[in-house]
Amino acid sequence: IRIQLVKLLESSQFKIELSELRMYDEDCVLIRLDGEDAALMIGKEAHRYKAISYLLHNWINLKYNLLVRLEIAQFLENQIQGMQLYLQSVIEKIKIH
C-alpha cells in the first residue's frame, strides 16, 4: 500500500506527502497525509476529501479487504471533535426538557 500510495501522491500536482500508514485496528488502515497543499486536498465543503477517501477505500478494500481511515491535516479529527461537541449540547438540551 505504501509504495503505491507514495507513487500516487508524487504524480499529483499537490504538495502533500504520506506522513503515516499503519493499521488502525484489525480491519482498518490509517492513512495520514499532510503538507503545504493539505487544505486543497480537502477542498471546499470537503468534496475532494470525500472523493479521495472513496477512491482509496475502493482500491484498498477490493485489493486488501481493509477499510480506510483517511486523515488529512487533522481534518477527520476536527470533524469528530465538532460532532462530539454538537452531540453534547443536544444531550444537555434533552436533559433540561
Nearest by Cα to 8 from 79, 78, 70, 66: 70
Task: Give domain 2-96's CATH architecture.
Answer: 2-Layer Sandwich (3.30)
Q: Is the pTM of this model over 0.75?
A: yes
Concatenating the DSSP letter of every residue in 43-80 gives -GGGHHHHHHHHHHHHHHHHHH--EEEEEETTHHHHHH
Domain boundary assignment for the chain: 2-96
Tell me the pLDDT tens digit for each residue of 13-25. 899 999 999 999 9
Q: Residue 36: phi, psi to the nearest 5?
A: -60, -35
d(CA 88, CA 86): 5
Tell me the pLDDT tens digit for each residue of 51-69. 999 999 999 999 999 999 9
